[in-house]
A = this chain, B = another copy of it.
Amino acid sequence: MRVGFIGFGEVAQTLASRLRSRGVEVVTSLEGRSPSTIERARTVGVTETSEEDVYSCPVVISAVTPGVALGAARRAGRHVRGIYVDINNISPETVRMASSLIEKGGFVDAAIMGSVRRKGADIRIIASGRDAEEFMKLNRYGLNIEVRGREPGDASAIKMLRSSYTKGVSALLWETLTAAHRLGLEEDVLEMLEYTEGNDFRESAISRLKSSCIHARRRYEEMKEVQDMLAEVIDPVMPTCIIRIFDKLKDVKVSADARLQGCA
């Protein structure tokens, strides 16, 4: 088995390590890549090759930054004859555009659920599109892929909807706990939420707030994409407020002794 990667960031590294540990040959092109990417690929034991050779693999996984995902599909489009798996964090609409660029090969929309760094749990990948079943064959080599939805774009829509909910929860938490903090009632409100929302509430709330502050700019951009996506199916209400919260959070400095609300 031979799997080609376009891009070699954290997602590619994680998937490639698993595939390598099951004896799969993983290839990527490192031409013009940063020293850290080259180092990462070599650590995993990836075979360095040409772009054309990557495209010739039966499975080609595109794991690049969202902004260049469409360009990557365009470059690969004429060459790929196996299946092109777009695992990038892009909107369902962009996925469908990428799909239309793969001229002869198959296409799979794939999305990683939760964090790729998720500890103690298998990285769960959901996949949609005609060739998703074909991609699922990599489960023999240590991946954890399941087919969800039907069309390309469905897997990305599921991921986006899930993450729009969790981003909204973070925004709510931040506003609620900021008000509580101003009233000197932060600990009390948190304890009451723990009481009604479950035992792991505090831990997950703190982790969400920290992460929201650190990644506020990215979440802000992502929420705008969510808003556009929702606007195709409903008249969305919540994103306007959530976007405004992340807009505020962009300017909040996370202090070393970050308070409970993550960014005091």
Interface residues of A in 205-262 (CB under 8 A from B): 230, 233-234, 236-238, 240-242, 244-245, 248
Determine the distance from Cα of A148 to Cα of B192 in the docked complex, in whole angstroms.
10
Please report the C-alpha to C-alpha distance between residue A171 and residue B168 in the assembled complex, in whole angstroms. Answer: 10
CA separation between A60 and B181, bound complex, in Å? Answer: 32
**Interchain CB contact under 8 A, A169 and B169:** yes
Within the complex, what minimum Cβ distance (angstroms) separates A9 from chain B? 21
Q: A154-B185, A233-B179 are in contact. Are A240 and B238 (CB under 8 A)?
A: no
Q: Is A175 an interface residue (CB 8 A)?
A: yes
Question: Which residues of the partner chain B approach A157 to less than 8 Å between Cβ atoms?
Answer: 180, 183, 185
Contacts of A164 in B (CB 8 A): 176
Copies in the complex: 2
Known interface pairs A149-B188, A157-B183; A196-B162 also in contact (CB < 8 Å): yes
Contacts A124-B195, A166-B196, A182-B234 supplied; 17 other A-B pairs, CB < 8 Å: A113-B195, A114-B195, A126-B188, A158-B180, A158-B189, A161-B179, A162-B189, A164-B176, A168-B176, A169-B169, A171-B237, A175-B234, A179-B233, A179-B234, A237-B245, A240-B241, A241-B242
Chain A interface mostly = helix
A193, CB-defined interface residue at 8 Å: yes
Bound CA span A197–B169, Å:
11
Q: How far is the CA of A154 from the CA of B186 in the complex (A)?
A: 11
A and B contact pairs by CB, cutoff 8 A, 9 listed: A114-B196, A126-B192, A158-B180, A172-B172, A175-B237, A179-B233, A182-B233, A198-B200, A238-B242
A192 B113 Cβ-Cβ under 8 A = yes
Instruction: Check: A81 CB closer than 8 A to any chain B CB.
Output: no
